Amino acid sequence: MTPMPIATQNPATGEILETFDAHTPEQVQAAIATAHATFQEWRLTSFAHRAALLRRAADLLDEDNESIARLMTLEMGKTLKSARAEAAKCAKGMRWYAEHAEALLADEPVDPPAAVGASRAFARYAPLGVVLAVMPWNFPLWQVVRFAAPALMAGNVGLLKHASNVPQCALYLEDLFRRAGFPAGCFTTLLIGAREVEGVLRDPRVRAATLTGSEPAGQSVGAICGDEIKKTVLELGGSDPFVVMPSADLERAAEVAVTARCQNNGQSCIAAKRFIVHDAVYDAFAEAFTRRMAALVVGDPMDEATDVGPLATEGGLRDVDALVDDARAKGASILCGGRPVDGPGWFFEPTVVADMTPDMAMYAEEVFGPVAGLYRVADIDEAITLANGTTFGLGSNAWTTDPDEQDRFVRDLDAGVVTINGMTISYPELPFGGTKRSGYGRELSAHGIREFCQIKAVWVG
């Protein structure tokens, strides 16, 4: 297998703009050694000190908003407007952890009877040490920041192995933390390929790993860390359902459905991918949804008027095309779109596929592009069965104004996130993560920062 080059290749044109030499094994060893040494000092710093640096990083990121947004768009093709929003969200997430980390990780005292003979007893959240983050390209800043902000605030240090197609975003992040005043070794970017990850994971100085990416990548990292008895958080793929019931506001549901499917050019783990619609409103929803999907502006992601830019990689375009071809060949109806866009770059038309059947690959696989599958169901039981019918369990969305139906969806959707009358979004305040083959562990909120801690029981006589 030829390793993927570490390069910036503009997905809107296919042009390779810049290539980078991978770090040598010696450079990787040096980075781990520095990180490990830095941790011994960093873990002793106060929350106030860490928070001041993180706030400074947030301020710098806000100052850089336009330039880093352009870089993200150039490297992976998200629209410039969504790139700006992503950078702003990262600054907000940093400030949230700067403000709340100390309270989230405060010692938890237990009542004296629970620890007989103790003058005091408590649980303490202690940092783990060097944490490796293996990250995907689709949200090149946010995926990293939602690991880095809590991990650093908890007193850990981070190594980043970013996706090979976003090296400049990866280097920017290291530089950002350095400029904010974090000591060398607190946050280090490793320019390495996927095959070099194992060596880093097996290094005894590396104590834990978090991976956001595909199932095969999660399996590999999870297996190695299992072998090494190291903590992991895995945030993997999803094929989120978007259920529409008769009481829903259909026009609003259709409008949000388009954003839920096509955000980030259709390449979001928590994008709604399967639209499961009650028979009573199926035709009306299909019409309203298809009308909006067909009206989306596809084009240059730097253009302010563009709604949908290119897919990030040529391989990604081929995968989406093959899934739609397979559905078409097996009898699906294509209500709009259905083909790659002619010309340079890796664009795919916003597409609605109806008359889906279980033998179609699109039924079970994650579609990472602006392609929606429509499913007709007779009642809420069938909707929930179908929604839970994949191996994934990341996000889920249901539209209904009936309180009893809302309770059913909250109770019975087997997913890490349930969103009623909206679309799945991540917030610093709410835990984020999946169940089943979408992974385990949580990011964000108190749960996310505690993933990178070990819980020490303290008994003082």
Which residues are part of the catalytic machinery? 235, 269
Q: How many residues does the chain have?
A: 461
Max Cα–Cα distance, the chain, nearest Å: 76
Interior CA angle at 181 toward 170 and 73, to 5°? Answer: 25
CA distances from 353 to 45, 268, 317 (A): 54, 19, 17
Q: Based on the shown chain and the rule CB under 6 A, indicate whether residue 137 belongs to the binding site for ligand NAP.
A: yes
Confirm or reject binding of residue 366 to ligand NAP (CB under 6 A).
yes
Given the complex with ligand NAP, which of 79 and 400 has the nearer CB atom?
A: 79
CB of 312 to ligand NAP, least distance (A): 8
Residue 194 sits in the site that holds ligand NAP (CB under 6 A): yes
CB closer to ligand NAP, 278 vs 442: 442
Residue 245 or 272: which CB sits closer to ligand NAP?
Answer: 272
At residue 403, the 3 state secondary structure works out as helix
235 scored as a contact of ligand NAP (CB under 6 A): yes
Count of residues that bind ligand NAP according to CB under 6 A: 31
User: What track of x and - describes contact with ligand NAP for positions 255 through 294 (by CB under 6 A)?
Assistant: --------------x-------------------------
Residue 428 in contact with ligand NAP, rule: CB under 6 A: no
163 makes contact with ligand NAP (CB under 6 A): yes
Q: Is 347:341 a contact under the CB 8 Å cutoff?
A: yes
Kindly state whether residue 445 participates in binding ligand NAP, applying the rule CB under 6 A.
no
Give the DSSP letter string of 321-387: HHHHHHHHHTT-EEEE--SBPSSSS--B--EEEES--TTSHHHHS---SSEEEEEEESSHHHHHHHH
Q: Is 170 in the site for ligand NAP (CB under 6 A)?
A: no
User: Binding of ligand NAP at residue 394 (CB under 6 A)?
Assistant: yes
Report how far residue 383's alpha carbon sits from residue 379's, in angstroms, rounded to the nearest whole number. Answer: 6
Task: Verify binding: residue 140, ligand NAP, rule CB under 6 A.
Answer: no
* Alpha-carbon Rg for the chain in angstroms: 23
As measured in angstroms, the least distance from the Cβ of 364 to ligand NAP is 14
Span near ligand NAP by CB under 6 A; candidates 193-201, 349-357, 382-390, 447-455:
193-201
Q: Is 361 in the site for ligand NAP (CB under 6 A)?
A: no
Site stretch for ligand NAP (CB under 6 A), options 158-166, 170-178, 355-363, 373-381: 158-166
Calpha distance 436→431 (Å, rounded): 16
Q: Which residues in 201-220 contact ligand NAP (CB under 6 A)?
A: 212-214, 216-217, 220
Q: CA 408, 409, 414, 415 torsion: positive or negative?
A: negative
Give strand ranges (E) for 57-172.
Answer: 108-109, 120-127, 130-134, 157-161
Residue number, nearest CB to ligand NAP: 213
Q: Does 90 bind ligand NAP (CB under 6 A)?
A: no
Indicate whether 138 belongs to the interface with ligand NAP (CB under 6 A): yes
Please write down the HEC assignment for all residues of 286-331. Answer: HHHHHHHHHCCCECCCCCCCCCECCCCCHHHHHHHHHHHHHHHHCC
The footprint of ligand NAP (CB under 6 A) covers 4, 134-138, 143, 161-164, 193-194, 197, 212-214, 216-217, 220-221, 235-238, 269, 366, 368, 394, 434, 439
